[in-house]
Amino acid sequence: MSTETIRYDNKVVLHFLIASTLFGVVGMMVGLLIAMQLTNPAFNLGPWLSFGRIRPLHTNAVIFAFVGNALFMGIYYSLPRLCKTPMISPLLSKIHFWGWQAIIVSAVITLPLGITSGKEYAELEWPIDIAITLVWVAFGINMLGTIYKRRERHMYVAIWFYVASWLAVAILHIVNSIELPFSYFHSFSYFAGVQDALVQWWYGHNAVAFFLTTPYLGMMYYFLPKAANRPVFSYRLSIIHFWALVFIYMWAGPHHLLYSAVPDWAQSLGTVFSLMLIAPSWGGMLNGLLTLRGAWDRVREDAALKFMVVAITCYGMATFEGPMLSLKNVNALAHYTDYIIGHVHVGGLGWNGCLTFGVLYWLVPKLFGTKLYSQKLASWHFWLATLGIIFYAVALYFAGITQGLMWSQFNEEGDMLKYPNFLETVLQIIPMYYVRALGGSMYLIGALVMCYNLWKTAREGDFIAEDEAQVPTRIGALQTNKGFHRKLEGMALPFTVFSVFAVIIGGLFELVPVIMSEVKNPSKPLVGIYSPLELEGREIYRKEGCVNCHSQMIRPFRAETERYGDYAKPGDYVYEHPFLWGSRRIGPDLQRIGERPDLTAIWHYNHMIDPQTTSPDSIMPPYPWLAENELDLSLTRSKMRALRILGVPYSDKMIESALTDMKKQAEGISRELNKFDKNIDPEQWQTELIALIAYLKVLGVRVEEDPVLSETKAEEEL
């Protein structure tokens, strides 16, 4: 049999590798900063580096920059070798790499500026969403084309994981990013309230599934056998692992919304599928660990294997915890608490982080044709990372359970909350926040040690820009019959791409009417529409990322209705674009804060300027700039018009008189504040703080008749 020589491109692999480690370190540093901010609000360094704005920066950096670049690194290394053919297009590889980095840089710029969609893990605004779609398509063409051109008939299980990840992420991203722009950088989510929440968590859960899990499983099935130099324990099991995961994962999203205003049957569906996930996940974990049977002596010495073992163990832990947390009774205690943050970091630091480190310790020496610079430093990294994860997770498990119990604790007579002041429950767990920050620092230091080690390794070797391989000459190896199939093969690329998009577009035609009818016939509103000033206040709430610490979703428990007010119903959210339910309570829930008579305008004013004056020892960051920043009124009307398209009943007259209405309402608030010697010039009402106060004063107030709508109606009649 004649052979030919092909070359695998290692440059793009190295590019992704460098980007991943670089952004990984940056993302972890931001993580450490926000961890410090929770121990002491003094670490909130001005508007651009306040918790609400940079928490999304941390999550986006570690998910899309660190893990994203690492999985591309893994795919661009393993896919051509598994297919025995180079990537079909070096140009698309380049576009993919630089496009992705441009997206990350734009995230680093826009998120601290407060440009956010307000939806967790999907914060990036619409122009970036479009860029992500384009880069993703370029990546897909490159990957699917390479698979089609493969010289190896069998598609190794890792390839299946890569393809499924690509396909699922594409669909999730598109559906969750349906939004209506009202300016170059801002938009409203197309969906409102409960529907927005369902779409978001369908996306949010599957982003964890198809961005953080399945591509990494593909990497595990390639790099673990490679590093251990032995085949996977059971190839049959790996195939079952794959198919079981992809069929079950898509349905587990509602477990993020248990006891919320979404329908009960949907919640139960999410729980059932989450429980089913234990089987394939643990099958995969055991398959990974058993691959090392008979090689455990090498695990003791080999840094790559050591990290992979921790990663796979953490995968098992996180995928056991996930289904347990989706049980309604467990979720009732743990939801909104720091337990969830501990859980995701077992996955993030343990599974994604350590698998990345393992692959790096194997790959860098290989790419540079040398040995690892220092096994000893790698050992240090290993212990720093492992102990860091333990400090991190255990501290937050304690914190989470403490919070959950304190929030729901009644006094001995059972008639009053034992800890009615939310702040008490926060102060109780501050020591745990310190331990968490310690764990995080250890993990970060470990990563820096690795960077040094890998840098020295690279310096000792010479970069092998291309790996040569001898493969059988392609004489139509894959064709089984001539004719129709041969033609199809000639059109490999268009065929693959078009068929995928045909399915997506076909689906959209079916779905758009459904969405349209839903927008036109919403649930009966229980709350009024926002006046222009309140709407702008809500935009400040979104911009400052208040949703990252405060939920707006009261669950139907006595402990919650006692503390916060009546529980949430779908009608509370019909005008909420985007929904701002939040997923954690670092501070108290705010859904019904407008119904609290004790929280007056002046209280809000003082609280926002310096939270410690109204709530001593509060860890909330101060927002003095809100009182100084002028409220941007240039887009108010565009916002109202955009919302009207989405079904919020603003009339022409309301949009026209928006500015005078705002002035009137703001002057009312200024007058109230001036009673307390604030000396606000009524002409200077245009501050962000006044708008935010207007919003907070009506937040969650249930009405029989819409006050804003009826006022305009009365005026029109005059």
Partner 1 sequence: MEIMIMLIAVSTMVALIFLVGFIWSARKGQFDDLVTPAVRILDEDS
- Residues interacting with partner 1, by CB under 8 A? 8, 81-82, 84, 153-157, 163-164, 167-168, 171, 175, 191, 194-195, 198-199, 202, 222, 225-226, 229-232, 235-236, 238-239, 243, 246-247, 250-251, 253, 262-263, 266, 467, 469-471, 500, 503-504, 507, 510-511, 514-515, 517-518, 570
Q: Which is nearer to partner 1, 101 or 238 (CB)?
A: 238
Q: Which of 56, 76, 62, 100 is nearest to 10 (CA)?
A: 76
- Whose Cβ is closer to partner 1: residue 202's or residue 623's? 202
Q: How far is the CB of 316 from partner 1 (least distance, A)?
A: 21
Q: Which is nearer to partner 1, 122 or 317 (CB)?
A: 122
| 466-472 and 187-189 beta bridge pairing | unpaired
Give counts: helices (H), strands (E), the chain: 30, 4
Task: Give the shortest CB-100-to-partner 1 separation in angstroms.
Answer: 23
HSE-up of residue 177 (Cα within 13 Å, Cβ side): 22
In angstroms, the CA 139 to CA 141 distance is: 6
Nearest CB to partner 1, comparing residues 84 and 186: 84
CB of 188 to partner 1, least distance (A): 16
Q: Which of 587, 614, 612, 610 is nearest to 599 (CA)?
A: 614
| Distance from C-alpha of 406 to C-alpha of 337, rounded to nearest angstrom | 11
What's the CA gap between 42 and 28, in Å, rounded?
A: 20
Q: Where does 521-651 have alpha helices with state H?
A: 532-543, 558-564, 601-609, 611-614, 625-628, 636-645
Q: Which is nearer to partner 1, 238 or 552 (CB)?
A: 238
Contact of 273 with 205, CB cutoff 8 Å: no
Helix (H) or strand (E) holding 189: strand 187-189
| CB-nearer residue toward partner 1: 154 or 300 | 154
Rounded to a whole number of angstroms, the minimum distance from the CB of residue 91 to partner 1 is: 23
| Residue 156 or 567 with smaller CB distance to partner 1 | 156
Q: How far is the CB of 706 from partner 1 (least distance, A)?
A: 23
The residue among 199 and 325 lying less far from partner 1, judged by its C-beta, is 199
Q: Which of 5, 634 has the CB closer to partner 1?
A: 5
**Spatial distance between the Cα atoms of 580 and 104, rounded to a whole number of angstroms:** 24
Q: Cα(547)–Cα(530) distance, rounded to whole angstroms?
A: 18
Nearer to partner 1, 507 or 556 (CB): 507
**Nearer Cβ to partner 1, position 47 or 270?**
270
- Cβ of residue 480: shortest distance to partner 1, in angstroms? 9
User: CA–CA separation, 201 vs 120, rounded Å?
Assistant: 9
Identity of the residue, 133 or 183, whose beta carbon is nearer to partner 1 in the bound complex: 133
Question: Least distance (Å) from partner 1 to the CB of residue 68?
Answer: 21
Name the phi and psi angles at 120, rounded to 5: -55, 135
Element at 652 (helix H, strand E): helix 652-656
* Alpha carbon distance 628, 540 (integer Å): 13
**Shortest distance, CB of residue 664 to partner 1, whole angstroms?**
37
Supply 554's token pair: 């009261």
Q: Considering all CA atoms of the chain, what is the largest pairwise distance in Å, rounded to the nearest integer?
A: 94
Q: Closest Cα to residue 706, out of 571, 527, 545?
A: 527
Considering beta carbons, is residue 509 or 652 the nearer one to partner 1?
509
Distances (CA, A) of 620 to 30, 461, 611: 18, 50, 6
Asked if 315 and 245 count as a contact pair (C-beta separation under 8 A), the reply is no
566, 702 contact by CB (below 8 A): yes
Least distance to partner 1 from the beta carbon of 170, Å?
A: 10
Instruction: Compute the distance between CA of residue 39 and CA of residue 567 in angstroms, rounded to an integer.
Output: 31
Which is closer to partner 1, CB of 200 or CB of 636? 200
Q: Please check whether residue 65 is in contact with residue 106, taking contact to mean a CB–CB distance below 8 angstroms.
A: no
Picking from 116, 155, 167, the residue whose alpha carbon sits closest to that of residue 503 is 167
Kindly state the smallest distance separating residue 284's Cβ from partner 1, in Å.
Answer: 14
Min dist. Cβ of residue 179 to partner 1 (A): 15
Instruction: State which residue, 82 or 318, has the beta carbon closest to partner 1.
Output: 82
Nearer to partner 1, 299 or 500 (CB): 500
The burial class, CB within 10 Å (0-12 / 13-18 / 19+), for 326 is: buried
> What is the rounded distance in angstroms from the CA atom of residue 616 to the CA atom of residue 106?
38
Rounded to 5 degrees, what angle do the CA atoms 240, 203, 501 make? Answer: 75
By beta-carbon proximity to partner 1, the closer residue of 222 and 357 is: 222
Give min distance, CB of 514 to partner 1, in A.
5
In 3-state terms the chain splits into helix, strand, coil percentages (rounded to 5) of 70, 5, 30
> What is the smallest separation between the CB atom of 572 and partner 1, expressed in angstroms?
15
Instruction: Tell the smallest beta-carbon distance from residue 231 to partner 1 (Å).
Output: 4
Shortest distance (Å) from residue 524 CB to partner 1: 13
For residue 301, count CB atoms less than 10 angstroms from its CB and return exposed for 0-12, middle for 13-18, buried for 19 or more: exposed
181 vs 504: CA distance, rounded Å: 22
What distance in Å separates the CA atoms of residue 538 and residue 636, rounded to the nearest whole number? 12
Least distance CB 563 / partner 1 (angstroms): 28
Q: Shortest Cβ distance from residue 494 to partner 1 (Å)?
A: 18
Tokens of 489: 């093969």
